[in-house]
Structure 1
Amino acid sequence: MIVELTDRIYEAAFVPELWPGVLDQLSTVSNSAAASLVLFRDRAPPKFIATDLIAPVLEAFDAANGWQKSEEVQLMFSMTPPSAFIYDADYFPPEALESNHLRLERTRPLGIGGQVGSFVFMPTGEMALFSTERWRHNDRPSGEDMARLNALRPHLARAGLVASRLGLERARGTVSAMETMGLPAAVLSSAGRVLVANPLLEAMPAIFRPAALGRMTIGDSDADLLFQKCVEAMVGHGEFSVRSIPLQAQEGRPPLIIHLLPLHRSAHDIFSGGDILMAVTALSASSMVPSPTLLTSLFDLTPAEARLASSLSQGSTLKDAAANSNITVKTARTYLERIFAKTGTRQQSQLVALLKGADRFPVL
């Protein structure tokens, strides 16, 4: 079910009418009552999609201007965002939860209690909130519930990036979708051949270079190795979990993240038979986007790896970072090797430079 759900998550990014079914499955795998996706972008009113049980609650909340009134929402943008799904009672102060009368007056009669959610800050400045509603009789999630949600989090983050750029509107074709996203992008075939690239990507010839048989290479050798492995795995030739690839900053250019999204079912048709969408974002210094959060949201790190990476980015030694994470130094070294493999870095100084890169550069 998880594999099928992953495919459907990416499909819903381009076909938003599929999100309710995806969110239903998200509820099922986490033993929840309902689920929703809310997209925040600048000062515009949030957009949301939800399962049937919770949709009327969100509609009433929105009509009552609840996003501006909710202390929880305000705290969400001011507190350090976690790198995993969280149970609301473990994160927000009790008084903030109890003061949210607009929600509680509508959820309690439905038998709904707390929430398990994850807010993902995008490199482009948007924020996606994925939330599941707990039944009151089964309020606190189990470790297994949280593990299943966190395994899906990187996929939800990448799909949320596309959904937010498209404004939760259905993609109307290859050219239209690539223009609307406003990101450098290309569509690849199952053989890794470039079918179409938009002008924003074509304007980056030093980074994305043509290769034999219509394929593409990345100018940075470490990033290219990850890219080629990822493309090969995504078309069914091997196992490789990474689908977001960091590219180190260079003179006059910020660090970049290359995201690869599979195009299945309806998305495959929208993109004229393409199999992979490649989209590129820049690490930005937006106040909404702390750089460690970007890395942990989009680079497939586990929560434990994310905590270690975040601690290292703040200047801690590996020994101190291990102590902060309540793990042994030996375990920390194992996690660090995995982080290197997922980020294309080879040493701790490179990793820290990548994490801190977002604080030095403007939006692309």
Structure 2
Amino acid sequence: MPVPLIDRIYEAAFVPEFWPSVLDDMAAMSGSVSGAVLVFSGIDQPPLYRTTDYTRASLHEFTTTERWRESRRAEALFKNIITGDFSSFQYLNDHMSAEQLAGDSVARSLRELGLEAQATTVIPLFSGEVVSFTFERRAGEGRHSAEALAMLDKTRPHLARSGLMAAKLRLERAEATVSALQAIGLPAAVLQKSGKVLATNILFDAAASLFLPRAFGRVALADAAAETLFRNAVEASAPHDRPVVRSIPVAASETTQACVVHILPLCRSAHDIFSSGDMLIAATAVGAHLQVPQASILTGLFDFSPAEVKLAIGLASGASVNDAAVQNGITVKTARTYLERLFAKTGTHRQSDLVALLKTASPLGF
């Protein structure tokens, strides 16, 4: 039986030599011929990357010569993170001027390879890095179908969690449990399916007000609403068991900063690297702000679909459900359906609580 794609996405986070085969399969499923994952630490240095065979030589040349300095894409990419234009798969060309495209070394490289339409999504991380996934089609084939983009968008929450680990490990292989947990640089622990803790790092041990010990070596979240979502995610340890929330918001308390706890299944080779553990949990902190949250941050922190993100931003801006529905061109009934999904994914039950939580969503490291 073929190994589910989502399992392989999580495996590649810790064993990055598997990214090319994962990207190849995602490319085939989306009508593309190539794909890549790139980790940017800033516009003043070339990105780290893993890619498929089709673009490997080109990306190697791009990152090891001065061609990366000639790219105008990073400039447009980082600028549009703020507006959240890439919280789903989009086309960067649509956000670049004719002048930028004319002088862009990436556009030139794509033309040299006989490629044209490039679908891109961007995942900004709390620590300042930006993870990007791209999928390219041959020149003359036109853009991806709406169905293909929807399929790619469906994988985005998994790509975001996997991208977080890939960036923290700098697209290097996790070699052993202890060193890998330290390298992640976040409060993190390895759990069995039963919830029993196998290993932790120093940052996890220091987060005693967030994680509570339970009988038989298990762990729980101190926040009651978050604990319900956390327990559901732990019990559904395989990513394809059933739809569950795997990025869980935890509200701020007197002793704990607002944060999001991520649950990453440890599949196949990653299972062996982490002492036969079944899942890794890691916490990323967020800061309390009064601004409207960015779409790209919401999709990076929570398992929101693009449509749910639009409604969430409308509500956080002060709009009623009816007004947000009008703004997004949907019916009030559909908006209420999205609102119920937002409640389920955040563990909230009232619109005021949801909005208060959403306004904590800005990147900030522990």
Q: Give the TM-score normalised by structure 2.
A: 0.92
> 2:365: which partner in 1?
363
> 1:22: which partner in 2?
22
Note the alpha carbon deviations across 1:195-240, whole angstroms, 9 max, x for none. 1121211112222111122211111110000000111112599623
Whether the 8 Å contact between 2:36 and 2:50 is mirrored in structure 1 is yes
Note the alpha carbon deviations across 1:336-356, whole angstroms, 9 max, x for none. 110110111212222222221
Amino acid at match of 1:45: P
* 5+ long unaligned stretches in structure 2: none
Amino acid at match of 1:148: M
Note the alpha carbon deviations across 1:98-154, whole angstroms, 9 max, x for none. 431x22333224321120010111123211010011111222110111011011111
1:99 and 1:295, CA in 2 relative to 1: closer, same or farther beyond 3 A?
same
Matches within 5 A, 1:159-198: 159-198=162-201
Note the alpha carbon deviations across 1:275-320, whole angstroms, 9 max, x for none. 000011112589xx96542222232111111111122222222222
Whole-angstrom distance in 2 between the partners of 1:217 and 1:208: 6
> 1:76: which partner in 2?
77
The answer to whether 1:276 aligns with 2:279 is yes
> 2:148: which partner in 1?
145
SS in 1 for 2:47: strand
Amino acid at match of 2:92: D
Count the aligned residue pairs: 360
Amino acid at match of 2:155: L
Cα distance, 1:174 vs structure 2: 0.5
Whole-angstrom distance in 1 between the partners of 2:144 and 2:259: 36
Note the alpha carbon deviations across 1:29-50, whole angstroms, 9 max, x for none. 1110101111012455321111
1:235 and 1:55, CA in 2 relative to 1: closer, same or farther beyond 3 A?
closer
SS in 2 for 1:54: helix
SS in 2 for 1:153: helix
Whether the 8 Å contact between 1:68 and 1:74 is mirrored in structure 2 is no
> 1:313: which partner in 2?
316
Whether the 8 Å contact between 1:57 and 1:103 is mirrored in structure 2 is no
| 2:265 pairs with one of 246, 262, 265 | 262
> 2:249: which partner in 1?
246
SS in 2 for 1:138: coil
Whole-angstrom distance in 2 between the partners of 1:236 and 1:55: 29
Whole-angstrom distance in 2 between the partners of 1:323 and 1:215: 46
The answer to whether 1:33 aligns with 2:46 is no
Whole-angstrom distance in 1 between the partners of 2:9 and 2:132: 14
Whole-angstrom distance in 1 between the partners of 2:307 and 2:6: 22
Cα distance, 1:242 vs structure 2: 1.3
> 1:350: which partner in 2?
353
Amino acid at match of 1:108: R
SS in 1 for 2:270: helix
Whole-angstrom distance in 2 between the partners of 1:313 and 1:19: 36
Whether the 8 Å contact between 1:121 and 1:293 is mirrored in structure 2 is yes
Cα distance, 1:252 vs structure 2: 5.9
Amino acid at match of 2:183: T
> 1:13: which partner in 2?
13
Amino acid at match of 2:270: A
Whether the 8 Å contact between 1:86 and 1:116 is mirrored in structure 2 is yes
1:3 and 1:329, CA in 2 relative to 1: closer, same or farther beyond 3 A?
farther
Whether the 8 Å contact between 1:232 and 1:238 is mirrored in structure 2 is no
> 2:215: which partner in 1?
212
Whole-angstrom distance in 2 between the partners of 1:114 and 1:136: 7
| 1:295 pairs with one of 288, 294, 298 | 298
| 2:130 pairs with one of 127, 130, 139 | 127
Cα distance, 1:24 vs structure 2: 0.8
The answer to whether 1:85 aligns with 2:89 is yes
The more displaced of 134-143 and 259-268 is 134-143
Whether the 8 Å contact between 2:293 and 2:313 is mirrored in structure 1 is no
The answer to whether 1:99 aligns with 2:103 is yes
Amino acid at match of 2:30: S
* 5+ long unaligned stretches in structure 1: none
Amino acid at match of 2:316: S
Whole-angstrom distance in 2 between the partners of 1:40 and 1:158: 16
| 2:202 pairs with one of 199, 204, 208 | 199
1:35 and 1:290, CA in 2 relative to 1: closer, same or farther beyond 3 A?
farther
Whether the 8 Å contact between 1:88 and 1:114 is mirrored in structure 2 is no
SS in 1 for 2:261: strand
1:94 and 1:336, CA in 2 relative to 1: closer, same or farther beyond 3 A?
farther
> 2:59: which partner in 1?
58
Share of identical aligned residues, percent?
Answer: 46
Note the alpha carbon deviations across 1:253-293, whole angstroms, 9 max, x for none. 4310100001111100000100000011112589xx96542
